[in-house]
Amino acid sequence: MSGQGVAPIIIKKKKKSGGDGHHGGAWKVAYADFVTAMMAFFMLMWLLNATTEKQRKGLADYFSPTIPISRVSGGGNGAFSGDSMFTEDIKPQSGTGATQINPLDAQKSRGETGVDTDAADQANQEAFRAIEEALSGRGGESMVSQELAEHIVTRVTDEGLIIELFATDGAPLFEAGRDAPTQLYRDLMRMVARVTGVVKNNVAINGHTRSRPLVVANNPVWALSSARADVTRQLLESGGMKSKRVQRVTGHADRQLAAPNPMSQRNSRVEIVLLRQ
């Protein structure tokens, strides 16, 4: 009887929900976007303050290019300073954005030399060819006897035409150990002065000697090679060459050998260089 008036106990369990706005992850994405935007804003402010007007224009052109890229453009002023793939000759030089219309700073400073390099090189080649033919007789009668021709070698280099006069066993160009020329060398000088008189190229003279068999404290080969080169200059001028054409007279001693054997007569030689104009 005592329990008939007591109500039953009911326990309700409520499932808590919500709180996503505080503990979820959506707000983190929004916050990250906000921080990124603020970082970009402050970087922009820093760039505006730290760069020049020209640099700011370059940054603007990066995001919004103002140079047209099309088939009518010759290129040349692009990122790699290259030519357009759509043209070969004309447009890279005269098309829109080309180097002649919009030259680079380095190109502006070059200027015009006033010299036609192709024409000058062609003139040099023709002059050298004429002298080689006169020395060898390829163009007709040779101006050199067989005896003299045995002591002459010619070659064309970047510096000019080299006429090399060398001694042989039994036929030296100078007296032994001296700068006194032999009659053979005097004849060679008269011939070279006559042949080179048809051109106006300047001249350089290089003297070379062979090595001496004994090592001495004061090696005379330096003075000897210089003296023989200067004697060559005197002989050329006496043969009719204008003194103003001679630009350089140098003695190389035995430092530039023409034959493997340092004491070979072949190393006693004189080079007369007709310099390129």
Query: Do 201 and 127 contact (CB within 8 A), yes or no?
Result: yes
Q: Mean pLDDT, to the nearest integer, of 69-85?
A: 48
- pLDDT number for residue 6: 66
Rounded to the nearest integer, the mean pLDDT of the chain is: 78
Asked if 51 and 146 sit in the same domain, the reply is: no
Asked if 152 and 268 sit in the same domain, the reply is: yes
Residue from 277, 272, 2 nearest 152 by CA? 272
Query: Based on the structure, what is the number of domains in the chain?
Result: 2
Query: Do 83 and 76 contact (CB within 8 A), yes or no?
Result: yes
Q: Which of 7-16, 22-31, 103-112, 255-264 bottoms out in mean pLDDT, i.e. has the lowest?
A: 103-112
- Report whether pLDDT(28) > 70: yes
Q: Mean pLDDT, to the nearest integer, of 139-143?
A: 51
Question: Which residues contact residue 264 at a Cβ distance below 8 angstroms, ignoring those fewer than 6 apart?
Answer: 210
- Report whether pLDDT(21) > 90: no
Asked if 136 and 247 sit in the same domain, the reply is: yes
Asked if 49 and 176 sit in the same domain, the reply is: no
Query: Do 270 and 165 contact (CB within 8 A), yes or no?
Result: yes
Q: Given 50, 68, 99, which residue is the final one in a domain? A: 99
- Report whether pLDDT(8) > 90: no
Q: Given 99, 131, 161, which residue is the final one in a domain? A: 99
Q: Is residue 138 part of a domain?
A: yes
Q: Is residue 134 part of a domain?
A: yes
Q: Kindly report, residue by residue over 29-39, the tens digit of the pLDDT.
A: 889 999 999 99
- pLDDT number for residue 133: 81
Asked if 161 and 245 sit in the same domain, the reply is: yes
Q: Kindly report, residue by residue over 227-242, the tens digit of the pLDDT.
A: 999 999 999 999 999 9
Q: Which of 69-73, 158-162, 235-239 bottoms out in mean pLDDT, i.e. has the lowest?
A: 69-73
What band does 58 get if pLDDT is binned at 50, 70 and 90? confident
Asked if 185 and 262 sit in the same domain, the reply is: yes
Q: Is residue 35 part of a domain?
A: yes
Asked if 51 and 85 sit in the same domain, the reply is: yes
Q: Is residue 231 part of a domain?
A: yes
What is the pTM (predicted TM-score) of this model?
A: 0.55
Asked if 227 and 170 sit in the same domain, the reply is: yes
Percent of the chain with pLDDT over 70: 70
Q: Which residues pair with 155 in a beta bridge?
A: 162
- pLDDT number for residue 125: 86
Beta strand 152-156 with 246-251 is: unpaired
- Report whether pLDDT(115) > 70: no
Q: Is residue 139 part of a domain?
A: yes
Q: Is residue 15 part of a domain?
A: no
Amino acid (one-letter) located at 34: F
Q: Mean pLDDT, to the nearest integer, of 104-131?
A: 67
Asked if 160 and 268 sit in the same domain, the reply is: yes
- pLDDT number for residue 277: 79
- pLDDT number for residue 72: 46
Q: Which of 65-74, 220-229, 262-271 bottoms out in mean pLDDT, i.e. has the lowest?
A: 65-74
For 97, other C-beta atoms within 10 Å of its C-beta total 20
Alpha-helix runs per DSSP H in the chain? 20-23, 26-50, 53-63, 91-94, 105-108, 117-136, 146-149, 183-195, 221-238
Q: How far is CA 119 from CA 160, 162, 175, 276, in A?
A: 16, 21, 44, 12
Q: Is residue 198 part of a domain?
A: yes
Q: Which of 89-103, 219-233, 244-258 bottoms out in mean pLDDT, i.e. has the lowest?
A: 89-103
Higher pLDDT, 216 or 207: 207
Residue from 248, 146, 224 nearest 187 by CA? 146
Only one residue has tokens 């090595």, namely 211
Asked if 164 and 233 sit in the same domain, the reply is: yes
- Report whether pLDDT(89) > 80: no
Q: What is the extent of the structural domain holding 52?
A: 26-99
Q: Is residue 113 part of a domain?
A: no
Asked if 93 and 207 sit in the same domain, the reply is: no
Asked if 125 and 258 sit in the same domain, the reply is: yes
